[in-house]
Structure formats: C-alpha cells, structure tokens
Structure 1
Amino acid sequence: MKALRWHGKGDIRCDTVPDPQIEQPRDAIIKVTSCAICGSDLHLYDHFMPGMKKGDIMGHEFMGEVVEVGQEAKSKLKVGDRVVIPFTIICGECDQCKRGNFSVCERTNRNAELAATAFGHTTAGLFGYTHLTGGYPGGQAEYVRVPFADTTHIKVPNGLTDEQVLFLGDIFPTGWQAAVQCDIQPTDTVAIWGAGPVGQMAIRSAILLGAKQVIAIDRLPERLSMAKAGGAITINFDEESVIERLNQLTQGKGPEKCIDAVGMESHVSLRQPDTIYDRAKQAVMLESDRPHVLREMIYVCRPAGVISVPGVYGGLVDKLPFGAVMNKGLTIRTGQTHVNRWSDDLLRRIEEGQIDPSFVITHTVGLEQGPEMYEIFRDKKDGCIKVVLKTS
C-alpha cells in the first residue's frame, strides 16, 4: 500500500509499505477513504516533538471502510461499516475510560513505560504520533490497523459525506472540548488565540455554547476572514496590540475565558520580543516550546477566569508568570481530547445541520501529493487552512 512516512525533519515521503494485518482479536483493518493533515502533524514534520523514528507512518485524522475484523471486535463492527477513527486509542475498560477520560486510557499505549518516564504516568496510545504514545502507524495511508477497534471507532450514518464527518476524529471535538472546558456563560467573552483548524472549531463551539462575544486572534487574512464568517470579532496581532484591543472590547476587564489553539510553535514577531527569546532558546535546545500565547493569556485573562489549552505542548517552557496565575485565581484546563466523550452529541449536531465542519477545508488532493502539501500547510501558502487527502 501507499503511505506517508517520516524520514527526518521536513522530510515526508509517499512510500510503498506492506499492508497491515490483524494482530490481536480486537483489531480491525480499515480501508482509508479520507484523511487530513493536522497542525499537530507539523510538530512532527519540524521535529519539535521527540520520539519519531525514520519510516514512521504519519497521520491521526482519518476515516474509511472496515475490510477485516478480529474475532473479539465482531460484536461491534462488521465488514462494510463506514467509520471515523478517533486519534485516541481506547480500551473502554480501564478506570480512566470508565470516567470518560479517554485520552489518558491506561492500557493502549504499548510504550507505557517510556510515556511514564516523560510525563509521570502513561497516556493513551495515539495514531501516527511518536513512540511516546505507542508508535502506532498512522492514517495517512491506504489501509490502517486499528487496535481496540471495538471501542476505537465512530460509526457514520447513511447520508453524510466524508467531509462532514472526517473531523469528528480530532479537530471538531478538540475545539469543542476546549470550549466546554471554559464553562461558558451567556455573559462571557471568549478570546481564542489561533484561527487555524482547531481555533475555527473552537470559535463555532463557543458560539453554539452561548458565549456573548467571541474574539479570534491571528495574523493571516484568510484565517481571520473565516473566523469572522463564523461569528467572531477578529484581531490581527501583526497590526495591533492584542492586550490593548482585548481590554477595549471588554471595557478594561479582560475576557473571562481564554483558549490557546496555538500550542508550542507560537509565531515569532518583532511586536512580541519574548517570541524571539523563545526561538533563540529553542534553537540551542534550552527550551522545547514557545509559550508566548500562554503568557499573554495569563496576563490579559480576567481575574477568576478560565484558560483552556487544546494547543499541543511537548516539553519545557520558560518564563511562565505563574505568580499571576495564582494571584488572579485563574483556572487552567488542558489535555488531549477525550474524543468519544463528545462524538455522539457532535454527530447529532452535524445531522441536525447545526454545523457542517467541512467549511474549514481549503485543499483536497490525492495521498501521493501529501509530501508537498505538508510544506504548503506549514508555510501557509495558497491560503491553506486545512488539507484533506484522498486515497483513490
């Protein structure tokens, strides 16, 4: 089969590799029909995340058709079923899964000891996302082996296109969880840093959850235009002070709820000298992540407010003003997404027409064009916001 594989920093290739096989009784084999390049994939592309090995198959946002089912998965899946596969691999039986904390499943990371060394405890196995999370082959391929497939899937009803449901595997529930974590009230202003795919989903989620005012912060015209179309007030951080504008929009009080949809690679700007400091430390391996957005959120968030962090961080950050967090009484909520906690509700909202997540797609190409699309997506060329790859 064809698959996109990591061969080093900035080096993704479309290679021919062996087809996956059933290895465990709860496995299934999925013939991929659509997959996507995620902003989190760019952390791997640029090698900011540790744990990648040459030849790893990329991708954690994919869907397709069941073509083979292991013996113990046959009660939940059958050949021909159309499914979206969450990026979090879940057993459905451990204490964390029973609580709905699926992204910290205790049993699916086959490199649990390595993860525990890095993070203190293991987290769930993830598709296509480093050996810290199990080293599972990803979904930017023609076929994928899905472990724990009886629980790690979302069935797709008839009548919905791939484009409508594909993002149930990651960015839609990620944006939704980011907003839910804010405990949004009807009087709230919600400020969202980053108007990429997750930020766009967070904007629409915050509006669906009843926020009084949603503000999107970015610098790219196409992203800001999409955010505005979704109902957000926009701030271009290259053209004006984010803190001054947010204070203006909130009568000097600051937003009650702040969402970091950027993560470890915040943009370097001469208007934000701390980003230059972070980039320099990152270059000499004295810091792994660039936390400008976190600093700015902590500074501007209203006292007793909530900071929600769906943006991915991989390691160590510097100069984080934790004194402000404590003295202002801020609540910080983070985490990889508990996809299956939200999937039934979000699928219903798609079916009812409350939201069509396909709005975010700007580029649809074949899988073999994936390597060049990684560069286009990373460098924000050609107005690229979200890339969908088709396998046939």
Structure 2
Amino acid sequence: MQAMTYHGPKRVRVENKPEPRIEHPNDVILRVTRAAICGSDIHLYEGLIPDTRVGHTFGHEFTGVVEELGPSVQTLKRGDRVVVPFNISCGTCYFCKRGLTANCENTNPNADLACGVYGYSHTTGGYDGGQAEYVRVPFADVGPMKIPDDMDDEDVLFLSDILPTAYQGAEMGEIVDGDTVVVYGAGPVGILTARCAWLMGAGRVIMVDHVDYRLAFARRYAQVETINYRQVDDIVLHIKKMTDGRGADVCIDAVGCDASGSHMHTVLGKILKLEGGAPTAIEWCINTARKGGKISLIGVYGPPWNMIPIGTAMNKGLTLRMNQCNVKRYMPHLLEHIRAGRIDAKGIISHRLSIEEIPYGYEIFTKKQDECIKCVIVPPRAA
C-alpha cells in the first residue's frame, strides 16, 4: 500500500509499505477514506517530539471502511463506515471505566504517559497511523464509531480529534455565561475551541495569533475578536487594557510546543531539545488571566520540562486544567451538534489532497502557505 513515512525532521515521503494485518482477535483493518494532517503531526514533522522513528506513518485523524475483522470483534462488520478516536483505549482499565480514555493504562508501554495514539511517536506506543491506504485498528469494539448513513465522511472526520479536543478545552475552562475567553492559536483546534466557547455561554471570545489569514478566517468562521500579537507592543498589557485591567476569565492554550518564543526558549527547546518546545502560550495564559481565573491547556508539549511562571499562577490563584482529549466521551454529543448545524466541522477544510501530495500538505501547513487552514487526504481507494 501507499503510506506516508517519516525520514527525519522536515522529511516525509510517500512510499510502499506492507499492508497491515490482524494481530489480535479484536483488531480490524480499515480501508482509509479520509485522513487529515494535524498540528500534532507538525510537532513530529519538525522533530520536536522524542522517539519519532524513521519509517513511521503519521496520522491520527481518519475515517475508513471495515475490510477485515478479527474473530472476536462483536460490534462491527465488513463494509461499516467508521470514524476512529485518536486515543487507543482498552475500555476495561481503571481509567477507561471512568471515561478517561486518554489515560488508558493498557495501550501504551510508557504507562506514565498518555494512552496509545495512532501515528504518533513511540512514546505513545508506536502504532502506525492513517495517512495511508489501510490502517490497523486495535480494540475495535471500543474506539470506532459508526458513521450515520445520512452523513458523509468529512462531516464527522474531525470527531477523531480536533473537535472533541476543542470542546474539552472549552469545557475544562469551566466557562460560565458572560465570561471573557482568550484563545491562543488560530489553528484548526483554536478556531473550533472558539466555536465551542460560544456554545458554553461565553460573552466575549478573543483569539491571538500572528498569521493574518488565519485570524481573518477565525473572524468569519467563529465570530471572534482577534489580535495579531506582532502588531502590539505587549500582548499581556494589551489584553488587560481590553478587559478593564483585570485580565480574562478563561485563557486557553491551543498552540503547544511549536510556539514562537524568546531566543532562550528557541535555544533550549528547539535547538538543544532541553525543554518541550517554547512554552510562550502557557506564559501568556498565566499572565493574561485575571486573579482567580482559569487556564485550559490543550496544546501538545514534549518532555522533559518547560520553564513556566508557576509561581505567578500560584499567587494569582489560577486553576489550571489539562489533558489529552477523552475523545470517545464527546463523540455522540458532538455528532448531534454537527447534525443540528451548530458546528460546521468540515467548514475548516481548506485543502483536499491526494496521498501523493502529503509532503506538499506538510509543507504548506507548516509554513502557513496558500492560506492553509486544514489539509485532508483522499486516498486512491477512498471511493
């Protein structure tokens, strides 16, 4: 089959790989019908995440058709169309039983880290991802959700990750009616987070980024106020002036380790790899939240540590919440939001590419070219 393969920082190719096979009785093999390039894939692409191995196939956002089933699969049959959470979860451990599928303790040998994740580094189990013609899905009775007959794959593709991540990010901010919410990062997750903040009763949503076309898209799609932080002298003072000198009620970091940062953070995080990227967005969240405010962290950071002003957070009495998204918990609820037209998930797609164009997709997404918001891959056997 054709599959995207990693060959080192900023080097990906589309190559022939062996088709996946059933390895466990509860596996299924999917013929991939849609896959996406995620901001988390860019962290891998740029070499910011440890133990990303040559030959690995990325991609944790995908839909597909069941082609082959293990003998113990109960809930699926050949020909079923499904969307698959990026979390690989067992469904029976301490955490899965409590709905914390992102913290499953049976799908990742690195038990103190996240659960298993498709197409991520070997720190999350080394499972190949869906930027390919076929993908193996373990624990098939737990993760995949059947796609309703009246919905197409692109309607529900982002239930695999970025829409539930955005929703959980807004939920962790404990937004109440009238709150001022600041979202850092106008990428796909940030834009969807802004939409979810409105659903939860926000009175004002402000988005911060430095790419003008992304900010313009956010204004159209999510009806937010926007700030280009490169066009203001001090983003912290600027937001405080916009919020009666106090700061925002809720600040959400939807950026993660690929943030632009100071020279110190660039050297420590991106050159020497001594911290998990540049924690600029976390710092801004801490410094722009009001006293007693809330911070939700959904941007992905790598180990080993980050230099953040935790003392400031303590002295301001801030509440910090963070986690990988427990995708399965939110899928049915968000499906109804999509069906009702409250969220146009596929409206953020800017590029549809063939599988051979995956390297081009990584390039334009990383370099923010051609007004790229979100790239979706259409494999040759998608029909």
Task: Give TM-score, length-normalised by structure 1.
Answer: 0.94
Equivalent residue runs for 1:30-45 within 5 Å: 30-45=30-45
Q: Which residue in the other structure is 2:243 paired with? A: 250
Structure-2 change in CA distance of 1:344 and 1:318 (3 Å): closer
Where 1:176 maps in the other structure, the secondary structure is helix
Q: Which amino acid aligns with 1:67?
A: E
- The superposition leaves residues 279-336 of structure 1 with CA deviations (integer Å, 9 ceiling, x where unpaired) of 0223133333211111111111111111101100011444311111111111111111
Q: Which residue in the other structure is 2:61 paired with? A: 61
Equivalent residue runs for 1:190-209 within 5 Å: 190-209=181-200
Choose from 266, 271, 295 the match for 1:279.
Answer: 266
Equivalent residue runs for 1:289-308 within 5 Å: 289-308=277-296
Counterpart CA distance in 1 for 2:94 and 2:191 is: 32
Structure 2 residue 203 is the aligned partner of structure 1 residue 212: yes
Q: Which residue in the other structure is 1:271 paired with? A: none
Q: Is the 1:289–1:316 contact (alpha carbons within 8 Å) kept by the matching residues of 2?
A: no
Q: Which residue in the other structure is 1:323 paired with? A: 311
- The superposition leaves residues 213-249 of structure 1 with CA deviations (integer Å, 9 ceiling, x where unpaired) of 0100011112111211211110110101322331122
Shift of 1:122: 4.3
Counterpart CA distance in 1 for 2:191 and 2:307 is: 28
- The superposition leaves residues 123-169 of structure 1 with CA deviations (integer Å, 9 ceiling, x where unpaired) of 31100101111100100000001000111111110121222110000
Counterpart CA distance in 1 for 2:57 and 2:288 is: 40
| Identity fraction in percent | 44
Q: Is the 1:291–1:317 contact (alpha carbons within 8 Å) kept by the matching residues of 2?
A: no
Q: Is the 1:27–1:70 contact (alpha carbons within 8 Å) kept by the matching residues of 2?
A: yes
- The superposition leaves residues 71-120 of structure 1 with CA deviations (integer Å, 9 ceiling, x where unpaired) of 211x21011111011110111111100111111101112xx1xx24xxxx
Counterpart CA distance in 2 for 1:154 and 1:231 is: 31
Shift of 1:197: 0.5
Q: Is the 1:42–1:374 contact (alpha carbons within 8 Å) kept by the matching residues of 2?
A: yes
Q: Is the 1:290–1:317 contact (alpha carbons within 8 Å) kept by the matching residues of 2?
A: no
Where 1:259 maps in the other structure, the secondary structure is strand
Counterpart CA distance in 2 for 1:176 and 1:102 is: 16
Q: Which residue in the other structure is 2:7 paired with? A: 7
- The superposition leaves residues 4-44 of structure 1 with CA deviations (integer Å, 9 ceiling, x where unpaired) of 01011111110111111111111001000100000000111
Equivalent residue runs for 1:49-88 within 5 Å: 49-73=49-73, 75-88=74-87
Counterpart CA distance in 1 for 2:15 and 2:273 is: 31
Task: Give TM-score, length-normalised by structure 2.
Answer: 0.96
Unaligned runs of 5+ in 2: none
Equivalent residue runs for 1:77-116 within 5 Å: 77-109=76-108, 112=109, 115-116=110-111
Where 1:228 maps in the other structure, the secondary structure is helix
Higher mean C-alpha deviation, range 236-245 or range 356-365: 236-245
Counterpart CA distance in 2 for 1:218 and 1:100 is: 33
Counterpart CA distance in 2 for 1:6 and 1:102 is: 27
Q: Which amino acid aligns with 2:158?
A: F
Higher mean C-alpha deviation, range 321-330 or range 32-41: 321-330
Counterpart CA distance in 2 for 1:280 and 1:216 is: 27
Q: Which amino acid aligns with 2:173?
A: C
Choose from 96, 116, 130 the match for 1:125.
Answer: 116
Counterpart CA distance in 2 for 1:72 and 1:231 is: 47
Q: Is the 1:35–1:390 contact (alpha carbons within 8 Å) kept by the matching residues of 2?
A: yes
* 4+ aligned runs moved over 3 Å, structure 1: 316-319
Structure 2 residue 258 is the aligned partner of structure 1 residue 265: yes
Counterpart CA distance in 2 for 1:252 and 1:284 is: 38
Higher mean C-alpha deviation, range 241-250 or range 59-68: 241-250
Structure-2 change in CA distance of 1:22 and 1:226 (3 Å): same
Structure 2 residue 357 is the aligned partner of structure 1 residue 353: no
Counterpart CA distance in 2 for 1:289 and 1:357 is: 29
- The superposition leaves residues 157-193 of structure 1 with CA deviations (integer Å, 9 ceiling, x where unpaired) of 0121222110000100011100000111002101000
- RMSD of aligned Cα (Å): 1.1
Structure 2 residue 338 is the aligned partner of structure 1 residue 339: no
Counterpart CA distance in 2 for 1:105 and 1:81 is: 26
Where 2:311 maps in the other structure, the secondary structure is helix
